């Protein structure tokens, strides 16, 4: 049985193919279309998935779309009705799109399939599992557990914004739901907006900013304001958002700027405005409130299900700081988070829900992780890489022996080189997990600055995450469980920390950033934490070998791992994208398969503008 899962039309369009219950391929449209968060029907991603599975479009039995459009339409109409006459302008703007396109989703999906392949006969049965059921399915079915509590938290699906379910065998039972407009995701997005970042893409920047807050009087005051005026948090983790302060239900803005300014004592930060301490303090306050809500929700999920296992999905499940604290709290013995926890993962979930719930098929993967380290995307052959090298007359060394390749690259990284690393199948989900990554030496105190400013062209405060051998995660961070998806933040052990200067609290944000906090300064965030990815030999032998070689040389089996892209660009997909990204930045080397390219010697190496592509800001 072949099932195509699709998520699109809102943000992060993606496609996935399930063949007899096995996830064969999954990819996001943005990678092919080269437009971040591309929401259009995922024509390229579907074509790739079909190719990977060796199927024709007419071999597909079911197409599962990740939400129910009519239920969403109902929510919109009821919301406009409830808030009327407020929201009239928004209503006039959104209705034409809905009555022209979105309510006729079946037609649009069929048209999309026809665009994928003209020969599509239209006989594929269309299914529409609910948005949060798709999230729940994306977390539970690929997990190794036979029974689990499932927690999904995001902005909003149809009505549901948070759900607690129980997964057992092939069944998912919904136990609790929190409905719009009360939403943990939208609460976090509201602060993302107020602190000058883009909603739907800047949330992780807010998470990275939060540790710069001074945990003290100011943060406590902001938390009190949030809890007294904006958000009531109940014991079971459900929340009530005071709509007097929000505008997302009736406008295209998140909050009432004037009311928030009055409440917090400073105006909404613009994108260009430099970050100040009060921005960081407010960031920390909302991060702590969110962590508290997630913790309470998890406790409720535990109480309701009695399970030792927790599965999570939805955009808020990408808040790895909250995830780290949840893991530390020990409410559940085991936690599995869908690596594509956002809407892209809905494509996988919708397809799995169709297979296990609609078609009542049993699960076959219990005990294993069916996401297979998220390496579910496109792979390029040596021939295709050579074609690109020839196109650009790019000189490259070919190192056939894997161990020699690892030793060579490890030595270059240890000598301070920054390496673009392009290998194997592309990752599914927002993180680069060692197949489309930029790698560098975490011991180098200048590396964070260099990577942020000269290579990624992004904000200097942004932290970098490490990938490491499992034994290093245990040695340096005390982490016992594998963390293959970079979804948990953990503090580095005391003995690897460096003492902070006495005047630390009074330093400016950028001064704090460049205080060395550990022996691995480039991956130790300001609060001594790191977003860890552990690498298993069987899942990623090349990176494992590289880490092993780096450990032999330096004593640390740890590397900086950041996504292979520049600010605003989707992570590179093809060898062509990789080469262009390499040439427009100060990256020193590029490794594609077994081909090694050095910046010096590349044609037109000094002319970065030649290679630049324009991307919208993120």
Q: Is residue 82 a contact residue for other proteins (CB under 8 A)?
A: no
**Burial status of residue 334 (CB atoms within 10 A of its CB: 0-12, 13-18, 19 or more):** middle
Region of 77-85, 319-327, 410-418, 500-508 interacting with other proteins (CB under 8 A): 77-85
Closest CB to other proteins among residues 6, 578:
6
From 167, 329, 194, select the one nearest 258 (Cα to Cα): 194
Alpha carbons 142 and 458: distance in angstroms, whole number: 34
Closest CB to other proteins among residues 78, 446:
78
Closest CB to other proteins among residues 129, 324:
129
Q: Is residue 611 a contact residue for other proteins (CB under 8 A)?
A: no
From 198, 213, 187, 210, select the one nearest 271 (Cα to Cα): 198
Instruction: Find the shortest distance in angstroms from Cβ 464 to other proteins.
Output: 47
Q: Where are the alpha helices (DSSP H) in 375-481?
A: 382-391, 402-414, 447-449, 470-477
For residues 555-574, which are near other proteins according to CB under 8 A?
none
From 17, 25, 12, select the one nearest 1 (Cα to Cα): 17
323 phi/psi in degrees, rounded to 5: -60, -45
| From candidates 54, 85, 92, 100, binder to other proteins by CB under 8 A | 100
Closest CB to other proteins among residues 21, 69:
69
Closest CB to other proteins among residues 295, 357:
357
For residues 105-124, which are near other proteins according to CB under 8 A?
106-107
From 556, 141, 206, 190, select the one nearest 364 (Cα to Cα): 141
Residue 195 CB-half CA count within 13 A? 28
Alpha carbons 602 and 251: distance in angstroms, whole number: 50
| From candidates 51, 78, 115, 379, binder to other proteins by CB under 8 A | 78
Region of 71-79, 258-266, 388-396, 527-535 interacting with other proteins (CB under 8 A): 71-79
Instruction: Find the shortest distance in angstroms from Cβ 251 to other proteins.
Output: 20
Could you give the 3-state DSSP secondary structure of residue 326? helix
| From candidates 74, 328, 379, 446, binder to other proteins by CB under 8 A | 74
First to last CA, the chain: 39
Contact call for residues 564 and 418 (beta carbons, < 8 A)? no
Q: Is residue 404 a contact residue for other proteins (CB under 8 A)?
A: no
In the structure encoding, which two tokens stand for residue 30, read together? 């943005």
Contact call for residues 79 and 73 (beta carbons, < 8 A)? no
Q: Is residue 77 a contact residue for other proteins (CB under 8 A)?
A: yes
Closest CB to other proteins among residues 78, 382:
78
Instruction: Find the shortest distance in angstroms from Cβ 70 to other proteins.
Output: 5
Region of 21-29, 74-82, 133-141, 475-483 interacting with other proteins (CB under 8 A): 74-82
Q: Is residue 70 a contact residue for other proteins (CB under 8 A)?
A: yes
Instruction: Find the shortest distance in angstroms from Cβ 96 to other proteins.
Output: 8
Count the Cβ atoms, other than its own, within 10 Å of residue 608. 12
| From candidates 99, 453, 510, 553, binder to other proteins by CB under 8 A | 99
Residue with structure tokens 């975490």?
Answer: 442
| From candidates 24, 33, 95, 218, binder to other proteins by CB under 8 A | 95
Cα 179 off chain centre by: 24
Instruction: Find the shortest distance in angstroms from Cβ 22 to other proteins.
Output: 31
DSSP state of 72: H
Closest CB to other proteins among residues 96, 367:
96
Closest CB to other proteins among residues 122, 306:
122
In the structure encoding, which two tokens stand for residue 278, read together? 């009060």
Cβ within 8 Å of residue 58, ≥6 positions away: 119, 120, 121, 123, 124
Q: Is residue 224 a contact residue for other proteins (CB under 8 A)?
A: no
Instruction: Find the shortest distance in angstroms from Cβ 110 to other proteins.
Output: 9
Closest CB to other proteins among residues 1, 99:
99
Instruction: Find the shortest distance in angstroms from Cβ 77 to other proteins.
Output: 6
Residue with structure tokens 């998220």?
Answer: 374
343 phi/psi in degrees, rounded to 5: -65, -30
Strand 529-535: give its sheet, edge to edge.
397-398, 595-598, 589-592, 419-422, 436-440, 558-563, 465-469, 529-535, 488-491
Strand 436-440, strand 558-563: pairing: antiparallel
The helix (H) or strand (E) run that includes residue 190 is helix 184-194
**Burial status of residue 21 (CB atoms within 10 A of its CB: 0-12, 13-18, 19 or more):** buried
Closest CB to other proteins among residues 71, 536:
71
Contact call for residues 352 and 141 (beta carbons, < 8 A)? yes
Instruction: Find the shortest distance in angstroms from Cβ 338 to other proteins.
Output: 28
Instruction: Find the shortest distance in angstroms from Cβ 174 to other proteins.
Output: 16
| From candidates 51, 56, 101, 397, binder to other proteins by CB under 8 A | 101
563 phi/psi in degrees, rounded to 5: -65, 145
The helix (H) or strand (E) run that includes residue 379 is none
Region of 66-74, 191-199, 270-278, 514-522 interacting with other proteins (CB under 8 A): 66-74
Instruction: Find the shortest distance in angstroms from Cβ 120 to other proteins.
Output: 15
Q: Is residue 103 a contact residue for other proteins (CB under 8 A)?
A: yes
Query: In DSSP terms, which residues pair with 393 in a beta bridge?
Result: none
Region of 99-107, 278-286, 334-342, 580-588 interacting with other proteins (CB under 8 A): 99-107
Alpha carbons 512 and 500: distance in angstroms, whole number: 9
Instruction: Find the shortest distance in angstroms from Cβ 78 to other proteins.
Output: 8
Alpha carbons 22 and 127: distance in angstroms, whole number: 18
| From candidates 35, 55, 71, 386, binder to other proteins by CB under 8 A | 71
Closest CB to other proteins among residues 84, 242:
84
Closest CB to other proteins among residues 100, 383:
100
Region of 98-106, 229-237, 448-456, 530-538 interacting with other proteins (CB under 8 A): 98-106
Instruction: Find the shortest distance in angstroms from Cβ 342 to other proteins.
Output: 27
Closest CB to other proteins among residues 91, 550:
91
Question: Where on the chain is the footprint of other proteins (CB under 8 A)?
Answer: 70-71, 73-74, 77-78, 81, 95-96, 98-101, 103-104, 106-107
């Amino acid at each position: 049985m072949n099932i195509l899962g699709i998520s699109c039309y809102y943000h992060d369009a993606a496609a996935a193919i399930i063949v007899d219950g096995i996830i064969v391929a999954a990819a996001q449209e943005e990678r092919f279309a080269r437009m971040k968060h591309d929401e259009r029907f995922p024509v390229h991603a579907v074509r790739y998935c079909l190719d990977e599975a060796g199927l024709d479009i007419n071999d597909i039995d079911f197409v599962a779309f990740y939400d129910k459009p009519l239920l969403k339409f109902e929510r919109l109409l009821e919301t406009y009705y409830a808030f009327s006459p407020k929201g009239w302008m928004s209503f006039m703007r959104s209705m034409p799109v809905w009555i022209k396109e979105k309510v006729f989703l079946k037609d649009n999906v069929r048209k999309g399939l026809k665009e994928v392949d003209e020969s599509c006969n239209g006989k594929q049965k269309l299914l529409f599992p609910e948005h949060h059921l798709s999230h729940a399915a994306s977390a539970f079915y690929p997990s190794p557990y036979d029974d689990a509590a499932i927690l999904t938290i995001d902005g909003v699906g149809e009505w549901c914004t948070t759900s607690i379910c129980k997964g057992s065998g092939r069944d998912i039972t919904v136990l609790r739901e929190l409905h719009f407009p009360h939403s943990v995701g939208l609460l976090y997005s509201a602060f993302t907006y107020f602190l000058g970042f883009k909603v739907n893409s800047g949330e992780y920047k807010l998470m990275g900013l939060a540790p710069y807050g001074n945990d003290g009087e100011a943060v406590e005051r902001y938390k009190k304001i949030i809890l007294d005026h904006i958000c009531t948090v109940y014991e079971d983790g459900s929340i009530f958002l005071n709509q007097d302060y929000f505008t997302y239900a009736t406008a295209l803005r998140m909050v009432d700027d004037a009311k928030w300014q009055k409440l917090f004592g400073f105006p909404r930060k613009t994108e260009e405005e430099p970050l100040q301490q009060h921005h960081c303090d407010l960031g920390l306050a909302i991060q702590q409130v969110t962590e508290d809500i997630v913790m309470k929700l998890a406790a409720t999920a535990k109480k309701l299900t009695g399970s030792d296992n927790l599965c999570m999905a939805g955009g808020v499940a990408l808040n790895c700081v909250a995830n780290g604290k949840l893991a530390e709290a020990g409410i559940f013995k085991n936690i599995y988070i869908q690596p594509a926890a956002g809407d892209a993962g809905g494509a996988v979930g919708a397809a799995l829900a169709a297979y296990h719930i609609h078609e009542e098929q049993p699960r076959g993967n219990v005990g294993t992780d069916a996401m297979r380290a998220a390496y579910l995307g496109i792979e390029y052959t040596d021939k295709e890489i050579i074609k690109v090298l020839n196109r650009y007359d790019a000189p490259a060394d070919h190192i056939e022996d894997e161990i020699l390749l690892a030793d060579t690259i490890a030595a270059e990284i240890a000598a301070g080189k920054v390496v673009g690393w392009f290998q194997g199948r592309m990752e599914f989900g927002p993180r680069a997990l060692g197949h489309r990554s930029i790698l560098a030496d975490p011991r180098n105190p200048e590396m964070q600055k260099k990577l942020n400013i000269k290579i990624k062209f992004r904000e200097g405060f942004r932290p970098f995450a490490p990938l490491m051998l499992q034994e290093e995660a245990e040695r340096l961070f005390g982490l016992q469980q594998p963390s293959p998806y970079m979804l948990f933040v953990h503090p580095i052990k005391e003995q690897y920390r460096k003492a902070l200067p006495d005047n630390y609290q009074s330093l400016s944000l950028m001064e704090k950033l460049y205080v060395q906090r550990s022996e691995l300064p480039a991956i130790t965030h300001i609060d001594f934490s790191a977003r860890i990815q552990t690498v298993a030999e069987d899942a990623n032998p090349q990176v494992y070998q590289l880490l092993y070689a780096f450990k032999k040389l330096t004593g640390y089996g740890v590397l900086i791992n950041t996504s292979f892209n520049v600010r605003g660009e989707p992570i590179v997909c093809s060898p062509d994208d990789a080469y262009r990204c390499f040439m427009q930045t100060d990256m020193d080397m590029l490794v594609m398969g077994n081909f090694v390219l050095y910046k010096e010697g590349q044609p037109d190496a000094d002319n970065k503008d030649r290679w630049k592509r324009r991307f919208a800001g993120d």
